């Protein structure tokens, strides 16, 4: 069965199953969040808006510890035993490279066994099995389901299915949304935030004194502060259909004094959607929507104002025929980064992209890859560490990691990647 819902007049069981959850889906996010937690900790990960700033800090801290421990064989051996009794199902019915592989690597770091269904034509869905039966079956064999689907609410519905199973005394496992239609991609937002958290520590690349680079930057940017608050974030490209943009914007909205600048072609498919605009405004975020890097925001060309830039590709696989026609007539060249534009950005401003970048469109040409602000490859690797931290949090082994880390490194002050001893690779 494909991810497209059938269009016959008689609803399929899959459609009826989705309808069953409709009233729960329509509720405001704040009502849903408690249902996605257990004992005030993460249970299901469905929306970016589930993470609080405190939780984001905790996860980043665990991810830092995991990456440092992973430098030593002894640390790897410790980590790999933490969840060696758990199994994960990766149910990805939409294409994926980084999310799939980094989740798999994250599971492997903690010793979890993984299995996968990527092509539903190889599963019993071709025999007429509903997705909900498939998910329930996965929950019989595995301890966690990580899923990506073209259907915006499927992961959310599966979380409710698991909660209902638990309430009726049945087996139930956590659901992690690894991308739901054009709606949300919460774990991508986690790794984006983790990359920003690391960038905005302003530590020297070699791990030397943290103060030096920050003090130096403050000579040129006296108002600069560490951390994600008090910053201007730019998003460029397909704002309307970019699920990573939606999830990241929801997370950034939680930080104090944040301005979001959306740079997209003036076309209803590609601009900020009303629901997100309303949600962000309610959270007190300042929003600017412009059509080019040159358009002025507070009197300054947007490109010069940004503290970080999040590039995206045009998601042409979602085009309807009218979009193809309209986009062919539009000048989209302004939504590509050039060396000249990068030269005008703030000297510390990280450039992010969830990837894949589109080689045909060329929103980030490879000539920018060596710029110290280009974060996209590091960002992808960060995904592995922060996803491992999230799994550690879901299965409540994060405190074991913290304890082991402090025991191992109590003799080192300010342990970081620069000064931790590495006896291996």
Q: Name, in order, each residue with C-beta under 8 angstroms of 313's C-beta and a sequence gap of 6 or more.
A: 237, 238, 353, 356, 357, 358, 361, 363
* Rounded-to-10 torsion of CA 40, 43, 45, 49: -10
Interatomic CA distance for residues 199 and 66, integer angstroms? 18
When asked if residue 246 is in the footprint of ligand NCD (CB under 6 A), the reply is: no
Residue 93 binding ligand NCD, by CB under 6 A: no
Select the residue whose beta carbon is closest to ligand NCD and give its number.
354
Decide: is 38 part of the binding site for ligand NCD (CB under 6 A).
no
346 binds ligand NCD (CB under 6 A): no
- Across-strand partners of 261? 234, 288
354 binds ligand NCD (CB under 6 A): yes
Nearest residue to 242 (alpha-carbon basis) of 355, 364, 383, 326: 355
Cβ burial, residue 55 (10 Å; 0-12/13-18/19+): middle
Given the complex with ligand NCD, which of 101 and 165 has the nearer CB atom?
Answer: 101
- Residue 178 near residue 30 (C-beta atoms within 8 A): no
Distance CA 340, CA 304 (A): 12
One symbol per residue from 298 to 327: x for binding ligand NCD (CB under 6 A), - otherwise; what is it?
---------------x-x------------
Nearer to ligand NCD, 183 or 307 (CB): 183
Angstrom distance (rounded) from CA 195 to CA 375: 8
44, 131, 243, 246: residue in contact with ligand NCD (rule CB under 6 A)? 243
The H or E element that residue 10 is part of is: none
What's the closest the beta carbon of residue 156 comes to ligand NCD, in angstroms?
16
Quote the CA–CA distance of 413 and 376 in Å, as a whole number. 30
Binding status of residue 70 toward ligand NCD by CB under 6 A: no
CB of 179 to ligand NCD, least distance (A): 5
Q: Min. distance of Cβ 308 from ligand NCD in angstroms?
A: 17
Query: Taking CB under 6 A as the rule, does residue 98 contact ligand NCD?
Result: yes
* 169 to 188: interface string for ligand NCD, x by CB under 6 A: ----------x-----x--x
- Site residues, ligand NCD (CB under 6 A): 98-99, 179, 185, 188, 243-244, 313, 315, 354-355
């Amino acid at each position: 069965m494909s991810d497209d819902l059938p269009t016959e007049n008689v609803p399929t069981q899959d459609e009826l199953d989705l309808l069953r959850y409709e009233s729960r889906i329509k509720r405001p996010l704040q009502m849903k969040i408690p249902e996605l937690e257990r004992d005030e900790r993460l249970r299901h990960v469905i929306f970016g808006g589930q993470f609080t700033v405190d939780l984001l800090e905790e996860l980043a801290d665990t991810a830092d510890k995991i990456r440092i421990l992973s430098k030593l064989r002894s640390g790897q051996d410790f980590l790999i035993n933490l969840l060696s009794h758990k199994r994960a199902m990766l149910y990805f019915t939409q294409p994926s490279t980084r999310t799939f592989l980094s989740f798999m690597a994250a599971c492997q770091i903690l010793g979890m066994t993984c299995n996968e269904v990527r092509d539903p034509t190889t599963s019993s869905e071709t025999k007429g099995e509903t997705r909900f039966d498939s998910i329930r079956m996965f929950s019989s064999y595995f301890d966690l389901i990580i899923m990506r689907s073209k259907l915006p609410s499927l992961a959310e519905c599966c979380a409710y299915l698991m909660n209902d199973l638990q309430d009726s005394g049945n087996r139930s496992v956590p659901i992690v949304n690894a991308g739901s239609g054009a709606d949300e991609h919460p774990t991508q937002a986690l790794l984006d935030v983790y990359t920003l958290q690391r960038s905005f520590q302003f530590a020297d690349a070699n791990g030397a004194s943290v103060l030096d680079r920050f003090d130096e930057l403050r000579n040129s940017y006296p108002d600069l502060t560490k951390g994600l608050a008090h910053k201007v974030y730019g998003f460029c490209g397909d704002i309307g259909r970019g699920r990573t943009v939606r999830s990241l914007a929801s997370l950034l909205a939680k930080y104090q004094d944040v301005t979001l600048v959306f740079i997209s072609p003036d076309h209803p498919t590609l601009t900020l959607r009303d629901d997100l605009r309303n949600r962000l405004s309610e959270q007190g975020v300042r929003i600017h929507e412009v059509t080019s890097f040159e358009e002025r925001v507070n009197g300054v060309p947007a490109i010069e104002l940004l503290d970080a830039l999040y590039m995206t590709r045009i998601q042409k696989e979602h085009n309807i025929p009218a979009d193809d026609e309209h986009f062919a007539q539009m000048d989209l060249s302004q939504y590509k980064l050039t060396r000249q534009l990068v030269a005008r950005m703030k000297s510390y401003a990280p450039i992010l992209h969830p990837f894949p970048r589109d080689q045909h469109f060329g929103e980030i040409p490879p000539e920018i890859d060596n710029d110290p602000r280009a974060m996209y490859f590091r960002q992808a690797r960060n995904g592995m560490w922060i996803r491992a931290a999230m799994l550690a949090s879901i299965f409540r082994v994060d405190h074991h990691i913290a304890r082991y880390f402090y025991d191992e490194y109590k003799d080192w002050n300010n342990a970081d990647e620069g000064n931790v001893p590495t006896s291996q690779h």
